[in-house]
Amino acid sequence: MSPFQIYTAFEKEIRQYKPEAKVNTSDTTYWLNKAVNEYVDNRYHEGITSEENKRALEALIVSDVTSTINASTNIANAYEATLPTDLRYCLSDELEITMNGIASRMPATDITYDKYTSKILDPYSEHNSRYGEAYPLKLTGNGAVNGKAIIVTDGKYTVTNYRINGYIKNPTLFTIASAATTTEYAQFNINSQNDIIELAVKMYLENESNPRYRTYTEGEIEK
């Protein structure tokens, strides 16, 4: 479907439940975008290994991205890896490390910033080298800095490469102008588009039935 058809389907579905509803383009844009974001998040958290979820997000999956990596000037024994600007969820990644002149590929250990200090102080932490192996720490989310992942070692080996084998990118969201766009909305297949419309309608109707929540979201829509 094109965005125009998606907007039309949403508004038609709303009027089946509420014939008196007056849904403007701004409202439709807001609820469709809210549904798109929730749909992607739900599918990811249900498990991307599921064939159904993988097909649902197929157009958003990007493969084989090698990141620029540099020594960090702020954290000892650390490196900064530039992340894709459209990255939403990392599905699989790996690091190339060099220890005692031998290069090898290792998975990183994902942590959040609140776990950083305890990991650094833990002599048995995965990032410490033992028997020629180590699994560097990777801080993302609240631990990321300006779109970069922070990769931490124990200082006894170097990180030479960071590769994202696959990630889910942020979907292109609707704008007010989308209501008149007749080209295909290629972010999702037809089944996913129908699911998104259904989810948007559900959220809209739930919002309309709750006056306290409606007051809150009206402020969001106006922004």
pLDDT digits (tens, 9 = 90+) for 130-184: 888 899 999 876 445 568 889 999 999 999 999 999 999 999 999 999 889 999 9
- Contact between 78 and 153 under an 8 Å Cβ cutoff? The reply is yes
Q: What is the pLDDT of residue 144?
A: 54
The H-assigned helical ranges of the chain are 3-17, 25-46, 51-56, 116-121, 190-208, 211-222
Tell me the C-alpha distance between 117 and 119, whole Å: 5
Tell me the C-alpha distance between 204 and 48, whole Å: 27
Q: What is the pLDDT of residue 152?
A: 93
Mean pLDDT for the stretch of residues 107-117: 87
Q: What is the pLDDT of residue 215?
A: 42
- Contact between 169 and 44 under an 8 Å Cβ cutoff? The reply is no
Q: What is the pLDDT of residue 99?
A: 94
From 136, 35, 24, 32, select the one nearest 79 (Cα to Cα): 136
Mean pLDDT for the stretch of residues 16-23: 85
The whole-model pTM stands at 0.82
Q: What is the pLDDT of residue 127?
A: 94
Q: List the domain boundaries for the chain.
A: 3-57+188-222, 67-169
Per the model's pLDDT, the better-predicted residue between 63 and 214 turns out to be 63
Residue 33 has pLDDT above 90, yes or no: yes
What mean pLDDT, rounded, does the chain reach? 88
Mean pLDDT for the stretch of residues 200-207: 92
Residue 199 has pLDDT above 50, yes or no: yes
